[in-house]
Amino acid sequence: MVARVWSLMRFLIKGSVAGGAVYLVYDQELLGSSDKSQAALKKAGEVVPPAMYQFSHYVCQQTGLQIPQLPAPPKIHFPIRDSWNAGIITVMSALSVAPSKACEYSKEGWEYVKARTK
């Protein structure tokens, strides 16, 4: 009798945990359109770091541990999109002027050789 009640209790607890998780996902519209997902990610990015800081501060206060202050990571500002676009434009410009440049250089070379052989 007790075992049956206990197994029923366990099933109800597990069911409520799983149901709560599904309801949370439905309520926050995490599996909906991409606009809502992007808004949820942005909100998480704003909320999580202060919460982590508060939690670590609380743990330090309770345990008396002092977490050493790490230096700030270097900020690398490398615009990949701009350098990629500039690279593509440079390559395409070089390819477009390549025939005319080849003619010009071969003409200059021919003139040079002619002048040397005279």
Q: Which residue type sits at 48?
A: V
Specify the residue, 10 or 57, whose C-beta has the smaller distance to other proteins: 10
Q: Among residues 35, 67, 82, 100, which is the contact residue for other proteins, using CB under 8 A?
A: 35
Question: CA 5 to CA 109: how far, in whole Å?
Answer: 98
34 binds other proteins (CB under 8 A): yes
Q: Dihedral through CA 88, CA 92, CA 98, CA 99, nearest 10?
A: 160
Q: By C-beta, is 81 or 116 nearer to other proteins?
A: 81
In the bound state with other proteins, the residue whose beta carbon lies nearer, of 10 and 107, is 10
Calpha distance 103→49 (Å, rounded): 62
Given a contact cutoff of 8 angstroms between Cβ atoms, the answer to whether 60 and 67 are in contact is: yes
Pick 21 or 59: Cβ nearer other proteins: 21
Write the binding mask 73 to 112 for other proteins: x where contact by CB under 8 A, - elsewhere: --------x-------------------------------
Q: In 3-state terms, the chain is what percent helix, strand and coil (to 5)?
A: 80, 0, 20
Which residues contact other proteins by CB under 8 A? 14-15, 17-18, 21-22, 25, 30-31, 33-35, 37-38, 40-42, 81
